[in-house]
Amino acid sequence: MIQDNDRILVGFSGGKDSQALLNLLFSLQKKAPVRFELLPVYIDAGFKGSISQMLDQFVRKNYGELRTEYTDFGVVAHSAENLENPCFLCSRLRRNRLFKMARENGCRKIALGHNKDDIIETLFINMFYAGKIGTMKPRQSFFEGNLDIIRPLSYVEKDEISRFCRLLELPEFKNTCPSANVTKRGEIRAMLDALYKHNKNIKGNIFRAMGNIATDYLLDIKNERHSKST
């Protein structure tokens, strides 16, 4: 994921995942066999009670510079015209801004704190709400390979990240988004947690299944529709 002379933009929100990611990357930077630079970035979505100053003070004290981008993405996404799915629009706007910042700052990689549970949940979100089978990958290339998104925590479970943060006494900053606790991802998470309680193997099986696809046993809807029409 990380190569010599990489300059990596690190998405930081103050939550457990991004806290763990930032801590691990800066720790790795000190002892890795390759040299790389890190640029932590926080996208302020424009909600009341902004935590940007607290995040800036924390990062400067422990790691170095934090680049903060002030936007109205969250406000726009929660406007009356977009109440059905504010998370999708806000996420897309923030991702596009990260892409732009990466280009402006000479970063060819963006590191995000998505974990194993996030990847599994995204699979079900795509199936339930987008009608497709797909999820996030540990490393994904964009713009003909000129920019990569890397997810170093892809194989780490959220409970392990929580224990890591508690062990190091890393603070968790409150998410000011009004939809933080009422998202589709939250509904999927609750469903999966209920299944995990009944069978401890389910999470691992789902995760492995995403790389063990029996394509011969999937529907070929496009060709079937074409054959019916002819």
Q: What is the pLDDT of residues 21-70, one digit of tens each?
A: 999 999 999 999 999 999 999 999 999 989 999 999 999 999 999 999 99
CB proximity list for 43: less than 8 A, separation 6 or greater: 11, 69, 71, 73, 94, 97, 98
Question: What are 172-188's pLDDT values in tens digits?
Answer: 898 888 887 778 899 99
Q: Take residue 58 and report the two structure tokens written for it.
A: 């924390």
pTM of the model: 0.92
- pLDDT averaged over every residue in the chain: 93
What percentage of the chain has pLDDT greater than the value 70?
96
The angle subtended at Cα 88 by Cα 83 and Cα 94, nearest 5°, is 115
- Reported as a pLDDT band with limits 50, 70 and 90, residue 227 is low
**Three-class secondary structure of residue 42 per DSSP:** strand
Q: What single letter denotes the amino acid at residue 88?
A: F
Q: Please tell me the predicted confidence (pLDDT) of residue 143.
A: 93
Q: Please give the domain boundaries of the chain with CATH numbers for all domains.
A: 6-229 (3.40.50.620)
DSSP of 183-223: -HHHHHHHHHHHHHHH-TTHHHHHHHHTT---GGGS--HHH
CB 175 within 8 A of CB 13: yes
